[in-house]
Amino acid sequence: MIVMLPEWLTPLLSEQTVKLLEYLTNGKHLAWYASFRYTVIAAVAGGLLAVVFGLLGASLKQSKWAPLRWIGNIYTTMVRGIPDVLFLLFFPLAFEQFVEWMWAYQSCTPEERAMATGWPLCDNAQWLLSSTEYLILACFSFGIVYGAFAANVIYGAMRAVPKGQLEAAHAFGFSSSQVFWHFQVRQMWVYALPGLSNVWLSLIKATSLLSLLQIVDIVQWAGRLGAPNYLPMAGLVHPDWRWKYYFVLFLLYILMTYLSERFFAYLQKRASRGMVRAS
């Protein structure tokens, strides 16, 4: 680390500052900074998947066929009475068990399946997930849960698109699916943006829960680094510093919220170019 500092700077810094810089750039801290990628990946991939699931949920809600509409309504209302953390834990585990159950029919003998009392049904049908796989499952989990929120937003936005525009498209001879995709979905983004911004802010905050899904993310690392650090060689490096590390995360999340708000304000400004706004 010290090598990376420009030569003229080193004498200006006190010994303590250099020590602190060394401490903050040791291997464990670099691993902590690097683990931020999990948060970013989960937020971005989860957010994109949430929009996909949101579109799906909204079009189900809008469906002409009643059973599809029911599925859409159940999907979008279930998140209202049940905490998101329950779903976040549930979906990865459910998928894991589903895969293991499928495997059990391939790799277990019928006797083993019949004898099994617990889970997995036999040793061959056990799926030990790597952290990449956990991360993918976590992204889908975020996508499904926040997709339900997004579906509500998108559904409302779709209905806010002026009817006349859709009728005009129909009159020009576009088919129903063309009207849906090229007019309704394209026009609704302006109305959906404020709501989607809120979904995104909730999603960012939910990324702090990654450590519950067996991922060694920034929160997990902060706990490890902050714990009282004793080395036989050096003595007590530092006492319990956990609150300092968590405070850094606290500030980091506030910063992410602030930047997201700025970004969505910019998007909103751009998306509503040329629109007549009631001031």
Partner 1 sequence: MDLTAIPFFNDLVTLFKPALFNIYFALASIPFGFPFAILLALAKTSSKRWLRWPAEVFIYAFRGSPLFIQFFMFYSLMLSFNQTLWKPLGVSEFVLHPLFIGPIVLVLNTSAYAAEIFYGALRSIPKGEIEAARATGMNTWQEFWVVKWPNMLRLAWPAYTNEVVFLFHATALVYFTLPVIDEQKDLMNKASELFKQDYALFVHFSAAAVYFLIISMLIFWVSSLFYKYLTRHLNTNRSIKLKPNYLR
In the complex, what is the shortest distance from the CB of residue 152 to partner 1, in angstroms, rounded to a whole number? Answer: 5
In the complex, what is the shortest distance from the CB of residue 255 to partner 1, in angstroms, rounded to a whole number? Answer: 9
In the complex, what is the shortest distance from the CB of residue 235 to partner 1, in angstroms, rounded to a whole number? Answer: 18
Query: Which of 243, 266 has the CB closer to partner 1?
Result: 243
The Cβ of residue 19 has, within 10 Å, a number of other Cβ atoms equal to: 11
Cα–chain center distance at 36: 13
Q: Which residues bind partner 1 (CB under 8 A)?
A: 76, 79-86, 89-90, 93-94, 97, 118-119, 149, 152-153, 195, 198-199, 201-202, 205-209, 212, 219, 222-223, 226, 240, 242-243, 246-247, 249-250, 253-254, 257-258
CA distances in angstroms from 55 to 45, 154, 186, listed in the order given: 15, 7, 12
In the complex, what is the shortest distance from the CB of residue 146 to partner 1, in angstroms, rounded to a whole number? Answer: 10
Phi, psi of 238 (to 5 degrees): -155, 150
Place of tokens 């937003």: 153
Query: Which of 77, 178 has the CB closer to partner 1?
Result: 77
- Please state, in angstroms and rounded to a whole number, the distance separating the CA atoms of residues 124 and 104: 8
- Please state, in angstroms and rounded to a whole number, the distance separating the CA atoms of residues 161 and 165: 8
What single-letter DSSP state applies at residue 129?
-
The Cβ of residue 225 has, within 10 Å, a number of other Cβ atoms equal to: 18
Query: Which of 88, 161 has the CB closer to partner 1?
Result: 88
Closest CA to 226 of 210, 234, 238: 238
In the complex, what is the shortest distance from the CB of residue 94 to partner 1, in angstroms, rounded to a whole number? Answer: 6
Query: Which of 166, 213 has the CB closer to partner 1?
Result: 213
In the complex, what is the shortest distance from the CB of residue 142 to partner 1, in angstroms, rounded to a whole number? Answer: 13
In the complex, what is the shortest distance from the CB of residue 257 to partner 1, in angstroms, rounded to a whole number? Answer: 4
Query: Which of 169, 209 has the CB closer to partner 1?
Result: 209
Answer yes or no: are the C-beta atoms of 147 and 57 closer than 8 Å. yes
Query: Which of 22, 240 has the CB closer to partner 1?
Result: 240
* Paired tokens of 86: 């329950």
What DSSP string describes 192-209? HHHHHHHHHHHHHHHGGG
Query: Which of 82, 237 has the CB closer to partner 1?
Result: 82
| Largest distance between two CA atoms of the chain | 81
